[in-house]
A and B are shown apart, each in its own frame.
Chain A
Amino acid sequence: MSEYEENRRPARQDQRYDQRYDQRRPSRPPQPVNETVTGDDGEYSVPTEFSPDSVSRPRRIGSNIRIDDIDYKNVAMLTRFIDGRGRILSRRKTRVSAKVQRRIVTAIKRARHLALLPYTADQSRIVRKRR
């Protein structure tokens, strides 16, 4: 092994390490935000309207959930925890802790009661047909 190679090796390894590190830590995907409205007494946010097309395919979706964000009014966030038929995803799919999953389930059920989210796919089909 030449002197040249010996000197090169650590540098190359570092570079490769950086690449792998970047792959493991992808940048945080953009978060859907509720619409902000200025009312008589300050600003507040209005939940985004549910649309069946915004339900995406789940893949370790719960990894960047903050516990304070879990709220029945946060429709954009809750939409990530239901599948195309409006069913609540299991912990096996969401990969969140039991504590977080419990709060998400409560929030989804409250949002359903207020018709912010659908109970079944059938319901969103009826509504979509009407529009």
Chain B
Amino acid sequence: MSEVTSSAVDLHEYEVVYVAQSGLDEEGLNALNGRFVQTVTTYGGQITATEPWGRRNLAYPIQKHFNGHYMLQRYQMPGAGANEVERFLRLNEDVIRYLVIRTDE
């Protein structure tokens, strides 16, 4: 086991865009985003920017949806928790598509 030299954990910067299914209302979107933010903070992350793009037409249908609610979030988080955030997006049925990228590389 490697020794932990300082309290500062290596934080990485991430950018995620997820597409929520078009059937969700305002309330459902807020709830979904709330759960996403909670997941990030639970694993030691911190949200740095939130950019809702609103409801947009998709360039091609996904699961028979023709439009979706786009949401962009930037956050800093230790690498260990990154898988859990992806897991949350993957298992959530309201999220029809997502993209997570490291922006500090």
Task: Answer whether A115 and B99 are a contact pair too, CB < 8 Å, given A39-B52, A127-B66.
Answer: no
Q: Check if A117 sits within 8 Å of B51, measured CB to CB.
A: no
A98 to chain B, nearest CB (A): 19
Q: A116 contacts the other chain (Cβ, under 8 Å)? A: yes
Q: Check if B17 sits within 8 Å of A114, measured CB to CB.
A: yes
Q: A110 contacts the other chain (Cβ, under 8 Å)? A: yes
Report the interface size class on chain A.
20 to 34
| Residues of chain B within 8 A of A50, CB atoms compared | 59
Number of B residues, CB within 8 Å of A: 22
Q: Check if B53 sits within 8 Å of A115, measured CB to CB.
A: no
Task: Answer whether A115 and B50 are a contact pair too, CB < 8 Å, given A110-B99, A110-B101.
Answer: no
How many residue pairs bridge A and B at CB < 8 Å?
Answer: 58
| Residues of chain A within 8 A of B51, CB atoms compared | 37, 39, 44, 46
B residues with CB within 8 A of A: 17, 19, 49-54, 56-62, 66, 68, 70, 72, 97, 99, 101
Complex Cα–Cα for A73 and B53 (A): 11
A residues with CB within 8 A of B: 37, 39-41, 44, 46-47, 49-50, 72-73, 110, 112-120, 123-124, 126-127, 130-131
| Residues of chain A within 8 A of B56, CB atoms compared | 49
Complex Cα–Cα for A113 and B58 (A): 11
A44 to chain B, nearest CB (A): 5
| Residues of chain A within 8 A of B58, CB atoms compared | 115, 127
> Of the candidates A47, A113, A119, A131, which one forms a contact with B97 in the assembled complex, judged by CB atoms under 8 Å apart?
A113
Q: Check if A46 sits within 8 Å of B17, measured CB to CB.
A: no
Q: Check if A46 sits within 8 Å of B53, measured CB to CB.
A: yes
Complex Cα–Cα for A130 and B53 (A): 22
